[in-house]
Amino acid sequence: MPLFLPETDLLLGTFTNDIVAPNPGGFVGQVWVATNPSDGLSTSELYVLTLAGSDPLRNDPGDVVFCSSPDGGTTWTRPRVINDDTLTPNAWQWFNTLSVAPNGRIDVVWNDTRNSQQPNLSELYYSFSADGGRMWSPNVPVSPMFDSWIGYPGGNGKLGDYYHMVSDNLGVNVAYAATFNGEQDVYFLRIGPWDCNGNEVPDENDIASGTSLDCNANEVPDECEYRADLDGDGLTTLLDYTALASKMTGPGQATISGCDALLDIDHDDDIDLADFYGLQRVFAGP
């Protein structure tokens, strides 16, 4: 259930160079600005997410804070702390990132050291608000723990400067950096159910109801497949090549249906040379 978070007086920009930070060679957080695109009560509200130091004694080096404006920036709410780690006030929350779904839901992720109490060991955390930032869901870790001090490329002393995310009405897609493999890599994370066809129904429900076919049983609706993959192994092999060759119709000559849709790589309702060229780009051999 969503919970109320207190409005607090925060000291923005209180960080100093002598703090041992999780990202010592770069920013620990960016300012994110977004508007509410929905037709609800919060439509056209302006949102700002940033990182703030909340204690001049530095026993709480960083919090994720949120403000909103109902009038285009003329007036603002007092900052609200989104992270709910009240029992571990010396934890870092950093690399805060914001996006807003078409229905107005606000999604936020950030790196968090609350479970390690060491500035270099973080997990990615998530919270959302369905009412314009007045109430926020309990914080949830959505990644394993990783060490932000390893794998610096070129000796630059930082994991990076920011992450990115894009929300839809069922969930949010996140691109973030982590060091799970002992080096810096970019990872993709989906939070919430998949909706590959954009009909605002979870893909698993589309398949279960028969609205979408899943002929190769890979839990992806066939209309969303981008490669010929008849057996659902994630590869385009000779089996798929032979099937496509036997089903080629030529441009505009037939409307395909059923499981043959798996061979229509460009989703134009025929199986032609464009699909053959698409197969070649992802062909993995036998």
Dump pLDDT digits (tens) for 178-225.
999 999 999 999 999 999 988 999 999 999 999 999 999 999 998 888
What pLDDT does residue 3 have? Answer: 38
Q: DSSP letter string over 206-243?
A: HHHHTSS--TT-SSS-GGG--S--TT-SS-B-HHHHHH
- Chosen domain end from 191, 208, 230: 191
Average pLDDT (155-167) is 86
Residue-number span of the structural domain to which 187 is assigned: 3-191
**Does residue 180 sit in the same domain as residue 248?**
no
In a domain, 199, yes or no: no
Instruction: Please report which confidence band the pLDDT of residue 253 belongs to, taking 50, 70 and 90 as the band edges.
Output: low
In a domain, 242, yes or no: yes
**What are 199-208's contacts with CB under 8 Å, separation 24+?**
200/169, 200/170, 202/170
Neighbours of 133 (CB within 10 A): 22
What pLDDT does residue 8 have? Answer: 44
**Does residue 50 sit in the same domain as residue 186?**
yes
Assess whether pLDDT exceeds 70 at residue 10.
no
In a domain, 206, yes or no: no
Tell me, what amino acid is at 9? D
Contact partners, residue 281, CB within 8 Å, separation at least 6: none
Sheet architecture: strand order including 32-35: 32-35, 46-52, 63-69, 80-81
Mean pLDDT of all residues belonging to the chain: 85
**Does residue 226 sit in the same domain as residue 181?**
no
**Does residue 163 sit in the same domain as residue 243?**
no
Write phi, then psi, for 250 (nearest 5 degrees). 90, 160
Which single residue is written with the structure tokens 């001090």?
A: 149
Q: Hey, is 73 helix, strand or coil?
A: coil
Would the CA dihedral through 160, 107, 91, 141 be positive or negative? negative
What pLDDT does residue 217 have? Answer: 92
pTM value is: 0.82
CATH number at residue 49: 2.120.10.10
What pLDDT does residue 122 have? Answer: 96
Assess whether pLDDT exceeds 70 at residue 83.
yes
**Does residue 113 sit in the same domain as residue 12?**
yes
Dump pLDDT digits (tens) for 20-51.
788 888 777 789 999 999 887 667 899 999 98
**Does residue 249 sit in the same domain as residue 118?**
no
**Does residue 242 sit in the same domain as residue 173?**
no
- Start-to-end CA distance of the chain, whole Å, equals 50
- Chosen domain end from 175, 191, 207: 191
